[in-house]
Amino acid sequence: MPPKAKPRVVYWFRTDLRLHDSPALAAALELKPSVLYPIWTWDPHYVYRARVGPNRWKFLLDCQSDLSTSITELNPKSKLFLIREAPQTLFPKLFKEWKITHLVFEKDTDAYARDRDAEVMQIAKDAGVQVIVKMGRTLYDPDALVQHNHGKPTMSMSQVQAAGKQIGDIARPIPAPTSLPDPGETTLSFAQEKPGPEPDINAIQRDGNEASYSSLAGPNGDFAVPTMEELGLKEATTLHRGGETIALDMLSAIIKNESYTATFEKPKTAPTAFSPQATTLLSPHMHFGSLSCREFYWRVQDVVDAYKKAGKHASEPPTSLTGQLLFRDMYFGAQAKLGYAFGQTYGNPQCRFIPWHLPSEIDTATGLITGRYLTDNATAESYFLRWKEGRTGFPWIDALMRQLRLEGWIHHLGRHAVASFLTRGGCYVDWERGAEVFEEWLIDHEAACNIGNWQWLSCTAFFSQFYRVYSPVAFPAKWDKEGAFVRRYVPELARFDKKYIYEPWKAPIADQKAWGCVIRGDGVKSEEGEYRVYPKPMFDFATQREVCIQGLKNAYKVGLHGNDAKVLDGTWRKLFDDEAEGPTEGNDGPPGAMVEHEDADGHEEVEHVAPPTPKKGKGKTGHKREKIQGTLDRLVTRKKAKT
DNA sequence: ATGTGGGTTGGCTTT
DNA sequence: AAAAGCCAACCCACA
């Protein structure tokens, strides 16, 4: 037997942009490598296929820069090597060129990541490269949670806690390495394979030329972290900054405040608080792995234990700080089992079917949503756009949506408020539309958590008390009587009396003028003469709340889930009578709630983006919804006419 | 089996 | 001023 060659290791950073508490990195170092290449591959899935706004891009680049600096501090010859090619095409060439013996990375149970990693592992096997995968992204391995939950997705906290108990203790954090091996030669003599940019879902995030794949090692040939300009991205507007250094400082500051750490109760933190906000703001660091969730867990738990030992009362999961991590694990466990289906209603056995407005288009070949949607109703489309753009006429909702777009982060209860408003407690728009907006704008967007929370708030999974609706007036007033939050993010209302801050349309015209802002229109115009303009509310909330509750009640009674045969083939329409909200018109239709494509039986084809032409009633049912909508429209019109 | 109590985070009225 | 009760009623675990 020839002497075994010393390991030449590629450490592939993905969801773990840190040096502290990385089980995978520790495993790489245990190999005692002769060379270690810390690399990042530029995945076209992220560049072109996922929705990523400039703020999250910026946070990612921050994390990469900080990590690269930290690596160089441990070994001046090393850094984070960014290689601009898809991992699936890069690795076969890279393994050969750099004579790699081992590939090490952290486990990722996201639906796409599983496909990608399976492919990469096969590539490595073919190349004779040994692969080491370690779990470090969640408290528990999501697959283990599923296994200990009788093979089922984790859909409640009690399931997570029961499964976790069986799995055993949560691993203690591993110290950061104190040294790193040299990288080897970094010559790249092979040709770069550029991925096709189509479809490029992120074109709208750029105002310059996208140059991710200009060359393998970047414009200066030094594998450096790109700039926003280089990627052609629009300027980031958030002040939240990424990187492990900042994350660890933030964590230290939090646990230094022992009573805050030990008595934290999420439902009691104010969603209206800003500078400083009421929660930790560590979620984006969890997402990019610039902070380990286990590091967070144990640093907090140690404070809690000491607090209890001193005889003081500490909070408990699920409302405590560590409880927040258990929710995260719950959503990862659900996603781990359900895969792509978790992110959509269609084909999802856990997700209730509700005939929402603006449903997703389904690719019947794959059963997956395409990213486009059916504009079944022009009013709902306008509700959706006004919600997204922060001009609903409800200051609480608009302030949150503007904060979200500007800063990429809003408080958890703020997310509840806008999500409830868009779906079951206001607009009756599909939760998948809202999830897409959050995916685009949140700097802490975590697919599993985002999807799970949207299902929760839309009462399609995890939660079902749909009659508990968040009021855009009463709810914020509970936290912020003065309306400071609204004044900060909706500055046109800054001078309004607190009596009207959440319902400015009720202020007398003379007062509106005295306060420098008149309430009229739909929010497209921001000024009129000498006055600023803030829109009228886009509907009567109490009326719309009732419409939604009745719609949900009816859909619950019908009792379909995303994998029901009737949902898959479109015959669900037969089960929804006049009382239903949503695009239920007619008894026949294509799968899910999608639009007809190839049916030749006289159905009209409907464009996905253009406002729909209201269909004339052909079937015996399906008109009540339009009637409800009509009633609502008339109601708003009448109100407009009066003032 | 049918009932009961709990479910991270509702709103409104009464006590 | 805080807390309890009602609203109209969901699912689920457990007895």
In whole angstroms, how far apart are CA A620 and each of A24, A466, A569, A573?
A: 61, 29, 20, 12
Burial class (CB in 10 A: 0-12, 13-18, 19+), A381: buried
A158 CA to C13 C1' distance (Å): 10
Whether residue A323 is found in the same domain as residue A383: no
Whether residue A574 is found in the same domain as residue A593: yes
Strand C contact with A553 (CB < 7 A): yes
d(CA A427, CA A575): 22
Point out the nucleotide closest to A416 (alpha carbon to C1′). Answer: B9
A149 CA to B1 C1' distance (Å): 26
Domain extent at residue A65: 1-136
Give the pair of three-digit tokens for residue A292: 């380990």
Boundary of a domain, candidates A86, A107, A136: A136
Determine the angle formed by the axes of helices A378-388 and A395-407, rounding to 10 degrees: 60
Residue ranges of chain A whose pLDDT lies below 70 = 1-4, 578-643
* Inside any domain, residue A163: no
Boundary of a domain, candidates A294, A312, A336: A336
Give me the residues paired with residue A35 across strands.
A8
What is the end-to-end Cα distance of chain A in Å, rounded? Answer: 92
Boundary of a domain, candidates A136, A165, A200: A136
Give the pair of three-digit tokens for residue A199: 């479809």
pLDDT reported for residue A536: 97
Q: How many CA atoms lie within 13 A of A357 on its CB side?
A: 27
* Inside any domain, residue A217: no
Give me the residues paired with residue A369 across strands.
A362
A150 CA to C6 C1' distance (Å): 39
A109: closest CA among A100, A118, A96? Answer: A118
Point out the nucleotide closest to A473 (alpha carbon to C1′). Answer: B11
Whether residue A610 is found in the same domain as residue A483: yes
- What does the DSSP assignment read for A28-83? HHHT--SEEEEEEE--HIIIIIS---HHHHHHHHHHHHHHHHHHHHH-TT---EEE
* Inside any domain, residue A147: no
* Inside any domain, residue A415: yes
Enumerate the known binding-site residues of A for FAD: 279-283, 324-331
Q: CB under 7 Å from any atom of strand B: which residues?
A: A 156-158, 265-267, 318-319, 323-324, 327, 412-413, 416, 456, 463-465, 467-471, 473-475, 478
Instruction: Please report, rounded to a whole number, the percentage of residues in chain A having pLDDT higher than 70.
Output: 89
User: Which of the nucleotides in strand B have any atom less than 7 Å away from a protein CB atom?
Assistant: 7-12
Point out the nucleotide closest to A350 (alpha carbon to C1′). Answer: C11
Whether residue A326 is found in the same domain as residue A435: no
Q: Which residue has the tokens 């790109």?
A: A226
CATH code of the domain covering residue A282? 1.25.40.80
A378 CA to C11 C1' distance (Å): 34
Whether residue A312 is found in the same domain as residue A386: no
Q: Which residue has the tokens 């969801």?
A: A15
CA nearest to nucleotide B10 C1': residue: A468
The count of structural domains within chain A is: 3
A115 CA to C12 C1' distance (Å): 34
Whether residue A372 is found in the same domain as residue A514: yes
* Inside any domain, residue A203: no
* Inside any domain, residue A192: no
User: Which of the nucleotides in strand C have any atom less than 7 Å away from a protein CB atom?
Assistant: 7-14
* Inside any domain, residue A635: yes
Point out the nucleotide closest to A158 (alpha carbon to C1′). Answer: C13
Strand C contact with A465 (CB < 7 A): yes
pLDDT reported for residue A197: 80
Amino acid (one-letter) located at A405: R
CATH code of the domain covering residue A381? 1.10.579.10
Whether residue A401 is found in the same domain as residue A317: no
Largest Cα–Cα separation, chain A? 93
Neighbours of A372 (CB within 10 A): 14
A268-271 long-range contacts, Cβ below 8 Å, gap at least 24?
A268/A319, A269/A411, A269/A412, A269/A413, A270/A411, A270/A479, A270/A480, A271/A400, A271/A410, A271/A411, A271/A412, A271/A413, A271/A414, A271/A416, A271/A417, A271/A476, A271/A479
Whether residue A349 is found in the same domain as residue A331: no
pLDDT reported for residue A620: 26
Whether residue A311 is found in the same domain as residue A398: no
A154 CA to B12 C1' distance (Å): 35
Whether residue A398 is found in the same domain as residue A327: no
A474 CA to B15 C1' distance (Å): 21
- What does the DSSP assignment read for A556-612? HHHT-BTT-HHHHHSGGGGG--TT--SS--SS--SSTT---SS--SSPPP--SSSPP
* Inside any domain, residue A285: yes
A352 CA to B1 C1' distance (Å): 27
Whether residue A473 is found in the same domain as residue A327: no
pLDDT reported for residue A572: 93
CATH code of the domain covering residue A128? 3.40.50.620
Strand C contact with A478 (CB < 7 A): no
pLDDT reported for residue A643: 20
Burial class (CB in 10 A: 0-12, 13-18, 19+), A412: middle
pLDDT reported for residue A595: 46
- Contact between A400 and A418 under an 8 Å Cβ cutoff? The reply is yes
Whether residue A451 is found in the same domain as residue A541: yes
- Contact between A355 and A584 under an 8 Å Cβ cutoff? The reply is yes
Q: In a 3-state reduction of DSSP, which class is residue A403?
A: helix
